[in-house]
């Protein structure tokens, strides 16, 4: 591949160039020959090549037209299926079941992309992503910690997540201004706690964290009379950041039962 590719700011491109980090990620994934593997944002193929040494066929989602053309040129279509699209618009359920999704995600769309992927969690076996460390710290945060918030709750309701390791900025070209980390996300099983209405659950969590410094009963004042705070185990002075995902689900269920929010799933 002759021409050097210029990283594009609008795509949030930071290309992974440290082979040691690449091997660390591949070791964490442990790809097997028949895995239905999907890579988001393959870029300059730092992970693509090593993954193709293990899997028989790989699907990649790449928005950048020039990079998509390079990928098609480098591997035969029976080895590499290139979907030239914005990952936010891809229907991942159309790619099969038991998917193993990996990627060095563009940091500028990481949260929307994680929420988009959550819709397809039933079709996914696991996800391994490199993201800004600050985002992963929020994803895995426990209640009553400063990083705990809407992202923590909405993703923890759907996945078991583990931060695996940090990655220094100089592992990329160009280096980002922030530290990165790698996270493992395992969709929770069918018997996981789930709200009566996903819509109501999302609405309650979003509003609860709109003013995270205030006491929750004040922030949710419009709905407070329809919530049995005592049954939930939420004290009068509690803020949103001490309430667990399961407590938020129970809270949204009470509001659905009272006819204040959403319809059941």
Alpha-carbon distance of 146 to 144, in angstroms, equals 7
Q: Domain check: are 174 and 246 in the same one?
A: no
CB 172 within 8 A of CB 15: yes
When pLDDT is cut at 50, 70 and 90, the band that residue 263 belongs to is low
Q: Domain check: are 219 and 144 in the same one?
A: no
Q: Domain check: are 39 and 140 in the same one?
A: yes
Which residue, of 133, 164, 187, is where some domain finishes? Answer: 187
| 206 within some domain | yes
Mean pLDDT of 70-83: 96
Q: What is the pLDDT of residue 219?
A: 96
pLDDT in tens, 230-258: 999 999 999 999 999 999 999 999 999 99
Q: What is the pLDDT of residue 187?
A: 98
Q: What is the pLDDT of residue 15?
A: 81
Alpha-carbon distance of 226 to 113, in angstroms, equals 34
Q: Domain check: are 23 and 70 in the same one?
A: yes
| 264 within some domain | no
* Mean pLDDT, rounded, of the chain: 92
* Tally of structural domains, the chain: 2
Q: Domain check: are 203 and 83 in the same one?
A: no
CB 184 within 8 A of CB 136: no
| 3 within some domain | no
The C-alpha angle 173, 174, 177, rounded to 5 degrees, equals: 125
| 234 within some domain | yes
Please spell the DSSP secondary structure of 208-254, one letter per residue. HTTTTTSBHHHHTTTTGGG--HHHHT--TT-BGGG--HHHHHHHHHH
Q: Domain check: are 112 and 206 in the same one?
A: no
pLDDT in tens, 176-235: 888 999 999 999 999 999 999 999 999 999 999 999 899 999 999 999 999 999 999 999
Q: Domain check: are 18 and 119 in the same one?
A: yes
| 145 within some domain | yes
Q: Domain check: are 127 and 230 in the same one?
A: no
Alpha-carbon distance of 14 to 22, in angstroms, equals 14
Does position 63 have pLDDT exceeding 70, yes or no? yes
Which residue, of 163, 187, 211, is where some domain finishes? Answer: 187
| 218 within some domain | yes
Which residue, of 166, 187, 208, is where some domain finishes? Answer: 187
Q: Domain check: are 213 and 169 in the same one?
A: no
Q: Domain check: are 119 and 226 in the same one?
A: no
Alpha-carbon distance of 192 to 190, in angstroms, equals 6
- Of the candidate ranges 29-33, 78-82, 170-174, 252-256, the one whose mean pLDDT is the lowest: 170-174
Q: Domain check: are 28 and 150 in the same one?
A: yes
Of residues 1 and 241, more confidence is placed in 241
Does position 8 have pLDDT exceeding 80, yes or no? no
CATH number at residue 123: 3.40.50.150
Mean pLDDT of 129-155: 96
CB 236 within 8 A of CB 217: yes
Domain membership of residue 67 as a residue range: 9-187
CATH number at residue 241: 1.10.8.100
Determine the 3-state secondary structure of 114 from DSSP.
Answer: helix
Q: What is the pLDDT of residue 129?
A: 96
Q: Domain check: are 102 and 179 in the same one?
A: yes
| 100 within some domain | yes
| 174 within some domain | yes
Alpha-carbon distance of 213 to 164, in angstroms, equals 30
């Amino acid at each position: 591949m002759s021409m050097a590719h210029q990283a594009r700011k609008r795509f949030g491109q930071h290309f992974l160039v440290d082979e040691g980090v690449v091997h660390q990620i591949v070791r964490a994934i442990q790809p097997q020959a028949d895995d239905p593997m999907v890579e988001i944002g393959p870029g300059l193929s730092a992970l693509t090549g090593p993954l193709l040494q293990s899997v028989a066929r790989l699907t990649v989602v790449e928005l950048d037209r020039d990079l998509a053309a390079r990928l098609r040129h480098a591997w035969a279509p029976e080895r590499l299926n290139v979907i030239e699209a914005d990952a936010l618009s891809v229907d991942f359920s159309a790619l099969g079941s038991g998917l193993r999704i990996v990627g060095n995600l563009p940091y500028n769309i990481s949260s929307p992309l994680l929420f988009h992927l959550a819709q397809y969690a039933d079709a996914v076996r696991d996800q391994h992503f490199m993201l800004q460390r600050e985002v992963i710290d929020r994803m895995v945060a426990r209640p009553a910690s400063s990083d705990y918030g809407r992202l923590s709750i909405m993703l923890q309701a759907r996945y078991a997540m583990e931060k695996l390791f940090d990655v220094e900025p100089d592992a990329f070209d160009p280096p980002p201004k922030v530290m990165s980390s790698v996270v493992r996300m395992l969709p929770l099983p069918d018997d996981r706690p789930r709200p009566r209405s996903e819509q109501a659950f999302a609405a309650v969590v979003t509003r609860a964290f709109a003013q995270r410094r205030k006491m929750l009963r004040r922030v949710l004042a419009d709905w407070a009379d329809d919530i049995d705070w005592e049954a939930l185990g939420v004290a009068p002075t509690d803020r949103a950041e001490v309430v667990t995902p399961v407590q938020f689900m129970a809270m949204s269920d009470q509001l659905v039962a009272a006819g204040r929010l959403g319809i059941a799933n």
